[in-house]
Amino acid sequence: MSISAAIVGVTGYTGLELLRLLSQHPFITISHIYAHQHAGKALLEIFPHCVSYVEKLPETIELFQPDTPPQVDVVFLALPHAQSWHFVESVLKKGIKIIDLSADFRLKKAHLYPQYYGEAHPVPDLLSKACYGLPELYREKLVHSSFCANPGCYSTAAILALYPLAKSHKLSSSIVIDAKSGVSGAGKALKETSLFCEVNEYLSPYSTFSHRHVPEIEQELGTTVFFSPHLVPMSRGILCSVYLDNTYNFSLDQLLSMYKTTYKEEPFIYASDSRQVSTKWVVGSNHCAISLHIFQEAKKIVIFSAIDNLLKGASGQAIQNMNIMFGFPETTGLPLIARLP
């Protein structure tokens, strides 16, 4: 019951997290690892901490050649946007399953790509072939899919916070999502705004109402959201603070019951009315913690959702999707408990 996997973009943060998790996954052999910048180098030269797995892992980082993909069961594409879309077709044709962690196939409407990513989509016909990889929404479809578009980190936290309401068509309008993320969400690219001294001890909003994850969130929730992200001086973790009108006059019990019902069978979702909300309860695990609050006098609902952006927000979710696509138990190889401190 073992399958072989390749990781393209292994030196970025999501690629590295895939490497860490897959090297401990009981049903996976990592056969090939790729990275443009470090191609030809030994894995241990770049990542000396992999020493305990060195016999189970490829010795060398390779240059990915999309036309001659490796003979593996699944390829993880852990790349910046506007790269995967050139690779996917040739890989799928070989019968290899793809889990794409980039944004290239998340949006169903091709016209959104020029608006949000500055380029027309080169293979728009493939958009419909990708299954949006949020298991809590698309598990059944994922079982039969060979091409998964793994969601954005913010999108995961925001959609899961509101999905039970959206599913019941009880979403009020004018939803404000004030989102806060650790810095690893920005990846390992060399830019001034990711330098330690520019981030440490500071808090900054950015891309207010215009972030690239907005169309993804709106696509899945079927409504407009006001999404306002902020950069927080920490390496991991996302918290979405969601504010909406209690248009349908839910009581806390009703709301909690709706969420608990929707997420009843979900191994990685924990919905409660706890006031102990913090990214600390999820960082290091593949969980999404959701906390529900109703302010009757104010006629407001407040929902907090917290994830580890590199786990449930990226590589953990990618492995959850892989588990589903290959029929493994869904939690295999995924951490179920946060690391504190």
Residues from 73 through 132 that contact a second copy (CB under 8 A): none
Alpha-carbon gap, residue 334 to 314, rounded angstroms = 12
222 touches a second copy (CB under 8 A): no
Draw the binding track, 125-144, toward a second copy (x: CB under 8 A; -: no contact).
--------------------
CB of 296 to a second copy, least distance (A): 11
Q: Please pick, among 153, 197, 240, 288, the residue that the annotation labels catalytic.
A: 153
- Decide if 15 contacts 35 (C-beta within 8 A): yes
In this structure, what DSSP letter does residue 315 have?
Answer: I
* Residue recorded with tokens 């996997």: 5
Exactly one of 122, 168, 202, 254 binds a second copy (CB under 8 A); which one? Answer: 202
* Residue recorded with tokens 């090297």: 23
Draw the binding track, 230-249, toward a second copy (x: CB under 8 A; -: no contact).
x-xxxxxx-x-x-x-x----
Residues from 39 through 58 that contact a second copy (CB under 8 A): 48-53
Closest by CA to 255, choosing from 315, 212, 198, 295, is 295
Residues from 170 through 199 that contact a second copy (CB under 8 A): 174, 176, 178, 180, 182-184, 188, 190-192, 194-199
CB of 269 to a second copy, least distance (A): 10
Q: Phi first, then psi: give them for residue 86, nearest 5 degrees.
A: -85, -15
Indicate if 153 belongs to the active site: yes
205 touches a second copy (CB under 8 A): yes
Q: What is the bridge-based pairing of β-strands 300-307 and 3-8?
A: unpaired
Handedness of CA 36, 39, 44, 50 (dihedral sign): positive
Alpha-carbon gap, residue 216 to 147, rounded angstroms = 17
Reading the block at residue 74, the tokens are 């699944």
Which distant-in-sequence residues (6+ apart) come within 8 Å of 210 by Cβ? Answer: none
Residues from 256 through 285 that contact a second copy (CB under 8 A): 267, 270, 272, 274-285
CB of 75 to a second copy, least distance (A): 22
Residues from 285 through 314 that contact a second copy (CB under 8 A): 285, 287, 289, 293, 295, 298, 300, 302, 304
329 touches a second copy (CB under 8 A): no
